Amino acid sequence: MVAGYPVGTAESKAGPNNVRKIREGLLLSKAELARRAGISVLTLDRVEKGMNCRMDTKRKIILSLGLQLTDRDKVFSNP
């Protein structure tokens, strides 16, 4: 654990999400979505692979996909 967050363990998996599917449907590259969201491509790659991320990062991604925050369940599933 680093600063209370699990690192490199199964605990750091958030589960499946639809970020990649929606991004590709909008014909956006990872680099373009990351730029729009103000996050790194590495962070976006990790999110698309189902890794945990901060609530603020989720908010940035949702808004950058042109969705409303109320659409969060369309992008990120609730465990």
Give me the residue spans of the domains in the chain.
12-68
Query: Helix (H) and strand (E) counts for the chain?
Result: 5, 0
Percent of the chain residues topping a pLDDT of 90: 76
Residues 34-65: tens digit of each pLDDT: 999 999 999 999 999 999 999 999 999 999 99
- Contact at 8 Å (CB) between 63 and 69? yes
Q: 12-68: CATH homologous superfamily? A: lambda repressor-like DNA-binding domains (1.10.260.40)
pTM: 0.81
Confidence class for position 9, pLDDT limits 50, 70, 90: very low
Q: Which of 79, 78, 74 is nearest to 22 (CA)?
A: 74
- By CB neighbour count within 10 A (0-12 exposed, 13-18 middle, 19+ buried), where does 54 fall? exposed
